[in-house]
Amino acid sequence: MKRNIFFLLFAFFIFGILTSCSPSLSEEEQQKRADNYTLLVETLRAVGYDTDFRSLRERNSLEENLRILWRDRHFNGFNDFRKNVELLVLLGNFDFIAEGLRRNVSDDNPYYHDWPRDSPYVISANSISFNKNEVLWLMLLLPDVNFPENHLGLRDVLIEAGENVLMYGLFETATSISVWFYYEKTVPGLLEKVNPDFQFFLSEEIKIAFLSADDDIQSRFMQAIDAGEFRNIRQFDSPARVFSSDEAEALMRAFSPTGSWDGGYIRIADFNHRMYDINTSSYGAFIFARESDSLMPVINPADARFAIFEEYTDGIFYASFTGSRDFDAYLLRLNIRIVDLLTGEEIFSESILSNPPPEEITWSTCRYGIGGLRIVDGKYFHNDFDFSRYVAVMEAHLNQ
Of 4-8, 97-101, 160-164, 222-226, where does mean pLDDT reach its minimum?
4-8
More confident residue, 250 or 89: 89
Percent residues over pLDDT 70 in the chain: 66
Average pLDDT, the chain: 75
Amino acid occupying residue 108: D
pLDDT for residue 327: 72
pLDDT (0 to 100) of residue 285: 36
Reported as a pLDDT band with limits 50, 70 and 90, residue 94 is very high
What residue ranges do the domains of the chain occupy?
80-233, 240-398
- Residue 154 pLDDT: 92
Dist CA 82 CA 134 (whole Å): 7
Phi, psi of 29 (to 5 degrees): -70, -40
146-176: pLDDT as tens digits: 888 889 999 999 999 998 888 764 444 434 5
The model's pTM is: 0.68
192 or 199, greater pLDDT = 192
pLDDT digit string, tens, across residues 367-395: 544 445 666 666 666 766 677 788 889 88
Provide the pLDDT for residue 299: 65
Query: Is the pLDDT confidence value at 251 over 80?
Result: no
Range name among 16-20, 31-35, 235-239 with the lowest pLDDT average: 235-239
State what percent of residues in the chain have pLDDT above 90.
25
